């Protein structure tokens, strides 16, 4: 049973004429006749009385409501796909790492909403690993995460580089290491630290660096909020390795000290990720381009502010 057969059946049922049905469907009368004959063979019943006007048989009468529902469902699906292609999307879901959601996305979201005011934006803060999983599961449209080499292994993913940033050390102002002229990774060996929870790319990046150096990462507290790191470090003796763009605004806090570590420098790359099917949808395509342009413009200004401080 094919859709065009049902459409021909409905046209004949509504007009009571094979000829008028052909005109309505903009095909030849012979085409309508073939479609009805094929449908009758499929269902094993005659669907129309063919003496005089085309009136429904008992079998045709039973098929009629179901044919209407099927054709209506198809018409609805077809219209939704047309609307999607035209950019009439009801919502756009984004998941991003904490620093991106807090500092980089707000102006992007504001600009996007002026261009697509009818698209509901939904933004969730997640670690990189979790954000990529929900993207692959189809629960979100875009992820802004720390780059992962495994991303390049998937042909379904579209990855756009946004920026790189250093990982720096945040410590309380009264910490013993504050007055050390040159801080090295060895100075952090077994020092109590606050770290991101498992599933955050930065936690894995920091742990890998300690492993390469043959050092012990003494993670005594796990957090998932940048503001939580600020409060915890300020109140105690813990250290934290955090992204440079977050630490910029802490430079003037008298209770905190931001320091760089001697080589090797630890750097993370932030990328925007979506899928090849989603990038074809106009609002998603526009958001990706807008985010790339605006965030790349923001970073030099943020880091310039850090240098002045």
What are the residue ranges spanned by the domains of the chain? 3-85, 91-163+270-308, 164-267
Q: Which residues of the chain have pLDDT under 70?
A: 83, 86-88, 151-153, 300-309
Per-residue HEC secondary structure of 162-184 comes to EEEEEEEEEEECCCHHHHCCCCC
Q: What is the pLDDT of residues 210-264, one digit of tens each?
A: 999 999 999 999 998 888 899 999 988 899 999 888 888 787 889 999 999 988 8
Q: Shortest CA distance to 168 belongs to which of 202, 211, 215? A: 202
- Distance between CA 298 and CA 228 in Å, rounded? 24
Amino acid 244: pLDDT: 87
Taking each helix axis from N to C terminus, what angle separates 128-136 and 201-213, rounded to the nearest 10 degrees? 130
Strand partners, 96: 125, 144
- Distance between CA 282 and CA 81 in Å, rounded? 13
183 near 266, Cβ under 8 Å? no
Q: Give the 3-state secondary structure of residue 238.
A: coil
Phi–psi pair at 141, nearest 5 degrees? -100, -30
Identify the helix (H) or strand (E) that includes residue 290: helix 282-308
Q: Shortest CA distance to 102 belongs to which of 117, 123, 121? A: 123
Amino acid 309: pLDDT: 39
Amino acid 1: pLDDT: 81
Amino acid 308: pLDDT: 44
Query: For the chain, first and last CA: distance in Å?
Result: 73
Amino acid 303: pLDDT: 56
Residue 276 exposed, middle or buried by CB count within 10 Å (0-12, 13-18, 19+): exposed
CATH assignment of 91-163+270-308, given 3.40.50.300, 3.40.50.200, 3.40.190.10, 3.40.228.10? 3.40.190.10
3-85: what CATH class?
Answer: mainly alpha
Judge whether 3-85 and 164-267 match in fold: no
Amino acid 306: pLDDT: 45
- Distance between CA 283 and CA 271 in Å, rounded? 19
Strand partners, 93: 122
Amino acid 248: pLDDT: 80
The CATH code of the domain at 164-267 is: 3.40.190.290
Q: How many residues does the chain have?
A: 309
Q: Residue holding tokens 């850090």?
A: 306
What does the buried/exposed string (b/e) look like for 159-190 if buried means 16 or more CB atoms within 10 Å of the residue's CB?
ebebbebbbbbbbbeebeeeeeeebebebbee
Amino acid 251: pLDDT: 75
271 near 163, Cβ under 8 Å? no
Strand partners, 160: 272
């Amino acid at each position: 049973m094919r859709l065009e057969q049902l459409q021909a059946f409905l046209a004949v049922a509504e007009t009571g004429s094979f000829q008028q049905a052909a005109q309505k469907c903009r095909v030849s009368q012979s085409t309508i006749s073939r479609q009805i004959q094929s449908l009758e063979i499929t269902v094993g019943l005659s669907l129309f009385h063919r003496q005089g006007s085309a009136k429904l048989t008992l079998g045709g009468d039973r098929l009629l409501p179901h044919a209407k529902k099927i054709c209506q469902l198809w018409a609805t699906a077809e219209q939704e796909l047309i609307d999607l292609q035209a950019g009439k999307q009801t919502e756009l879901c984004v998941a991003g790492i904490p620093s991106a959601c807090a500092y980089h996305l707000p102006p992007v979201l504001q600009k996007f909403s002026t261009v697509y005011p009818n698209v509901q934006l939904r933004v969730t803060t997640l670690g990189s690993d979790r954000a990529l999983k929900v993207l692959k599961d189809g629960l979100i449209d875009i992820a802004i995460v720390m780059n992962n080499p495994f991303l390049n292994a998937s042909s379904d993913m579209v990855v756009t580089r946004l920026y790189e940033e250093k990982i720096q050390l945040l410590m309380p102002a009264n910490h013993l290491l504050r007055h050390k002229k040159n801080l090295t990774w060895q100075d952090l060996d077994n020092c109590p630290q606050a770290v991101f929870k498992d599933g955050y790319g930065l936690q894995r990046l920091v742990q890998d660096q300690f492993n390469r150096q043959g050092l012990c990462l003494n993670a005594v507290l796990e957090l998932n909020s940048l503001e939580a790191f600020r409060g915890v470090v300020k109140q105690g003796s813990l250290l934290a390795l955090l992204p440079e763009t977050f630490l910029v605004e802490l430079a003037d806090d008298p209770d905190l000290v931001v320091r760089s570590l001697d080589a090797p420098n630890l750097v993370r790359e932030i990328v925007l990720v979506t899928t090849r099917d989603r990038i074809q949808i106009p609002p998603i395509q526009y958001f990706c381009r807008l985010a790339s342009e605006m965030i790349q413009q923001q970073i030099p200004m943020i880091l310039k502010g850090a240098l002045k401080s």
